[in-house]
Structure 1
Amino acid sequence: MNIRIRFGAQTCQQWLMAALCVLMSLAGVMPVAASKTDTTYTLSSMPIVKMRDEFNKTDAAVRSRISRETSTYIDAICKVLNNAAAYDAQAKRRIDDLKDELAKATEPQKRYELCAALYEEYSHQSFKPAFTAAQQCEQIGRKTGDYDLVAQAIIYKVEILIKGGFFREASEALATVDVARCSEAVKVNRLIAAFNLEFENGFYFPRHLFNPNLYLQRMNYYYEQTRRLVPAESWILDDMNVKMNFNKRNYAEAVRWSKQLLAKLAPSSDYYSTALGNLGYNYMGMGDYTNATCYISQSGIENIKRGAKDYAAARKIAEVAFITGDITRSYMLINVAMHNAEIFHSRYRYAEIASSYPKIDNDMYAYTQKQHTRLLVGFVVLAVVAVLLCGAIYIMVRQARMLHRQKALIEHHVESLSDKSRQIEEINVQLLEAGRIKEVVLGQLIMASANHQSAMEKLRKEVLRRLTIKDYDGLRNVFDQQRGEAFDVLYHIDQVLLMLFPDFPEHFNSLLREENRVMSRRDERFTTEMRIFALIRLGITKNDDLARSLNYSVNTIKSYKTRVLNAALYDKDEFYRRLMA
């Protein structure tokens, strides 16, 4: 709904110039303080700073709920605004089609209808082409000689002049209509235009200077005139009642009339979106911001889809967003309203926006400063965190290097311990083997000793018997005949070695070339070569020890060893390694 106050023509121009200067300053870097006088020279009967302060006094839970609900409707209109270019393109195509038809039309009546249709399209988009279309309608109407067409064209001019804020010019144009020559339908349209002119004047001029309210009195006059020409249930009367109650700030009654009006209008009608907006503005006056945003948003969406630029929904939702604390979208929407006013070329819309823009811009500036401060603090905190993080990374790298060195040292110690463990295991194996050898050797020594003792006892008895009978010659034979296992040292050695290394002959021969392999004779278990190297396997490695053990000379031992090594498949070191394995 359009809410304005009227100045004189010269005062109005001065005021608008001042408003434009203010708006130009808003585009710069310096913030403009919000006006402190919301009730003196203002285009809005709803002081949004005061309304915001009252809203902030309500319970926090209530504020949160309302902000959440209004945000949903703001989201809806913002989503449609994102596609505004596509809707504008559709409107342009409609206008281009009408222009093409107008260029081809020759019949005056048809040309008038096309110019009227062009006026309807332009009246929502741009002041100048809409006014030109209305003038063309008037020219064509005068050529036809049908005064109703002329009067209606003048009413078109009045409507667009009101939208542009040219109230004096609108009043002058309306005065040129010869009411006596008009049909009843055109008279009704003239009364509606006159009523709307007084309504807009009533909010453009500081009406508190008039007591009583002259604009409301004139609206009542035109209302009574209209009542005589239209049915009592006409939606036109409902609309007039909405506006008169709005003028009186009787918002609850205006809401009642608005609902009644919407029930009579078809949703597809041109005025339906305007009625939706009026209902939302009255809810806003009541402080019901949820319903206000709901209906204003619907009104704005319908106008955006039409490709319109003259709607006030963007400004009013910006004000609701300002009141409920959504400052970023409030600023965005008020700039959309400003952009639309620039496209429409309406000083009226400029003046409307100027009443809210400084307040919203001031809050946006404060919000931006606060965000800047937060970003600065965040940056400082981030820088500190980054420094601490770098320090932590440096310490972690040093710790990692230290741990790496300690790990390498531990691995070295573990490897060393593993080597020592393997050595201990090898020693244990050797000790076990030595223990087993000792057990075998000890057992063989005990058995050999027992056999030797038995043989010696037998020899002693035989010697005593021979001495008793004085058979001295037989005594010599007795000693010569004492042969056998009990007196055969090598036999006992072979027995021990075979018990320790049962497969030694086969393994020993596997180390020699096939043609040099040695085989045991029947009367002995080991050959001399096998016996020497078996004793070496047993751990007797010195030639002197081997010679004494076998009752051989050292040279004999060396000779046998050289002979075997020459016949071996491997070199000396490998031969001994395999022998010991």
Structure 2
Amino acid sequence: MKLKCCFLKKRFWFLLIILGIGGTLYANNELKLLTDSLRRVIDEKHIFVQKKEDRIDRIKCMLKSPGLTLEGKYKINLRLYDEYKKFHIDSAIHYVEDNIEISRKLNKSYLTTQSSLHLSLLYSMCGRFREAEMILKGIDSSSLPKDLLITYYETYSSFWGHYSISVANNIYGQQQAAYQDSLIALIDHTSLGYKMSRASYYIWRDTLRSKEIFKELLEIEEVGTPNYAMITHSYSRLCRHQKKYDEEKKYLILSAIADIRNATRENASLQNLALIHYEEKKLADAFKFTQSAIDDVISSGIHFRAIEIYKFNSIINTAYQTEQSRSRSNLTTFLISTSIILFLLVLLVICIYIQMKKILKIKRALVQSNQELLRLNDKLNNINNQLNDTNNQLYEISNVKEHYIAEFFDVCFSYISKMEKYQNVLYKYAINKYYDELIKKLKSSALVDEELTALYARFDKVFLGLYPTFVADFNALLKDGEQIVLKSDALLNRELRIYALLRLGITDSGKIANFLRCSTSTVYNYRTRMRNKAAVDRDEFENEIMKINSTQEK
């Protein structure tokens, strides 16, 4: 019986040892995976910063909304304050100061007090403690409604917390605790803030109670949110108090990852991790985390975090540089050893080199042949491209000629018919001896003007049938504000007709002037004015006009 009991005890302890080893291996593997994830997230930090900046830009666009009221602008500024608070202090201050001006214009003391409290918090975060305290002392807390009183106590508590970190004196932590107690007495006991305060309070007094609250919060909160980062950071303090250092690192890493992914630059977890890795002699990670934290401090302007990190940055940096020097020394030793081995391989390389030389000659001959073939191929491609361009131009010319010849005959027949009718009218006036009407008819230019208008309208219609996008393409070549705007009943105007004729290949200003019934100098002036309005090089403007494609080319 005794033997059996001894056997069972030994088996029990053996199982415990196996489970302990398995648990340790699992924990180590989990920490390794989380640390790898943190490194990747740090390397991709610029992506998350860009996403936040894009989100802020979308909110800023709302400020440009037409008909935006002062109340609406105040709410948008409030959103921008929340976005910038732990991202870029100076920008957050700008929008809070704007809200203070808005609240004064609206004559709403509630909004003025709310914005003043926000400004005080920002001042304390960036180290302007005197200004932050002056704002807080200037607020009569006895007259505040409950929600603003809660904000007042939160701001005062944060003020003393930031100040105690900045001056490295824990005595101010007692004043912070006093405001924290006043805050806890006011806030909703079901709120996150209350539960976080209770959990932090119990860390040093009742660890089991503290752990229960933290576990409850972690189950409720979605992973990766800013609140999740805050909960895991506070929970890591409990793990450290319980001397569960692997769990402390785990929750600090989870907190740091969440902060980076949310572009929260008040990243206390990353600073704590840098110190832990320094103590564990993992200097590469300590240096990487420290540099990332410093980058956040510089970008955000959060003063009290800067004081914390600068305390140990030089220590970690020095240790890292020493480690790098040691690594370089080891590398030098390795290189010397490798050089000796390489020297032994030189003889073999010489033999290979002789063979390689022969192969190289063959390769060079092949390369030259390939280059010659490529050159000939490029030449053929260029010739083909030129032929294609020429064919396209011939096709366009043929198409234009086909359309305009058809229109030419149609116009000619039309004018012959009109001339016959006009001749008959004049003949009737003559045989009936209506000499006054005949002279009046012959002197009148109305018929000529009417026919010119009809001719231009027909030209415009035919031309735009061939080049339907001509007006839009022409305007695209002009500077902003210089585009041609046609009347509602017009297809082209005189400037566009000049360039339409140019596009058809009529470059003689005299011919263009005859067609448009104006002087050559007028045509020249129009062309010069358009070149001066060109968005492209004025000397290339008319060449660009010639590149406007017809319907068939498209």
Q: TM-score with structure 2 length normalisation?
A: 0.53
Q: SS at 1:228's partner residue?
A: helix
Whether 1:315 aligns to 2:277 is no
Q: What letter is aligned with 1:73?
A: L
CA–CA distance in structure 1, aligned partners of residues 250 and 225 of structure 2 = 19
**Corresponding residue for residue 57 of structure 2:** 96
Of structures 1 and 2, the larger Rg is shown by 1
For residues 384 and 269 of structure 1, the distance between their equivalents in structure 2, rounded to whole angstroms, comes to 56
Partners of 2:109 and 2:272 lie apart in 1 by 39
In 2, the alpha carbon distance for the partners of 1:199 and 1:253 equals: 25
| Alignment length (residue pairs) | 333
Report the CA distance between 1:253 and its aligned residue.
Answer: 7.1
- Are residues 396 and 123 of structure 1, via their aligned partners in 2, closer, same or farther at CA, if it must alter by over 3 Å? closer
Are positions 1:276 and 2:232 aligned together? yes
Of the structure 1 ranges 266-275 and 250-259, higher mean CA displacement relative to structure 2 is found in 250-259
Cα offset, 1:315, TM superposition: 2.0
- The equivalences for 1:91-490 within 5 A come to 91-104=52-65, 106-207=68-169, 210=171, 215-216=173-174, 218-243=175-200, 257-262=213-218, 265=221, 270-284=226-240, 286-390=242-346
Q: Distance in 1 between matches of 2:301 and 2:238?
A: 27
Alignment partner of 1:86 is 2:42: no
Match runs of 1:464-543 below 5 Å: none
Conserved 8 A contact 2:157-2:176: yes
SS of 1:325's partner is: coil
Match of 1:414 in 2: none
1:117 deviates by 0.4
In structure 2, relative to structure 1, the CA distance for the partners of 1:284 and 1:194 (3 Å cut) is: same
CA distance in 2, matches of 1:203, 1:134: 25
CA distance in structure 1 between the aligned counterparts of 2:197 and 2:128, rounded to whole angstroms: 21
Instruction: Classify 1:140/1:250 alpha carbon distance in 2 versus 1 (closer, same or farther; 3 Å).
Output: farther
The aligned counterpart of 1:73 is 34
Residues 190-231 of structure 1: per-residue CA shift (max 9 Å, x gap): 1112122223333333436x4xxx522x33432332243233
Q: What secondary structure sits across from 2:86 in the alignment?
A: coil
Q: CA deviation at 1:391?
A: 6.4
CA-CA distance at 1:340 after TM superposition: 1.3
Question: Does structure 2 retain, via aligned residues, the 8 Å contact 1:315–1:334?
Answer: yes
Alignment CA distance shift 1:263-1:203 (3 Å): farther
Asked if the contact 2:225–2:262 (Cα under 8 Å) also holds between the matched residues in 1, the reply is no
C-alpha contact 1:280 1:296 (8 A) present in aligned 2: yes
Q: Relative to structure 1, is the Cα distance of residues 252 and 376 closer, same or farther in structure 2, using a 3 angstrom cutoff?
A: farther
User: Offset of 1:361 from its aligned partner?
Assistant: 1.3
Offset at residue 332 of structure 1 (A): 1.2
Look up the equivalent residue of 1:121 and give its one-letter code: E
Write the deviation string for residues 545-566 of structure 1: whole angstroms up to 9, x where unpaired: xxxxxxxxxxxxxxxxxxxxxx
Task: Tell me which amino acid in the other structure corresponds to 2:178.
Answer: Y
Query: How far 1:353 sits from its partner (Å)?
Result: 1.0
Say whether the 8 Å CA contact 1:202–1:215 is kept in structure 2: yes
Q: Kindly indicate whether the alpha-carbon contact (under 8 Å) linking 2:233 and 2:255 is maintained by their aligned counterparts in 1.
A: yes
Q: Name the SS of the counterpart of 1:95 in structure 2.
A: helix
1:117 is matched by which residue type in structure 2? R
Looking at structure 1, the residues matched to 336 and 205 of structure 2 have their Cα atoms a distance apart, in angstroms, of 51
Aligned equivalents of 1:153 and 1:231: distance in 2? 22
* Runs of 5+ consecutive residues of structure 1 not aligned to the other structure: 1-59, 398-581
CA deviations on 1:274-307 (whole Å, 9 max, x unpaired) are 2222222443454433222322222222222223
How far 1:188 moved relative to its partner? 0.8
Counterparts in 2 of 1:385 and 1:133: CA distance versus 1, 3 Å: same
Q: Sequence identity, in percent? A: 15
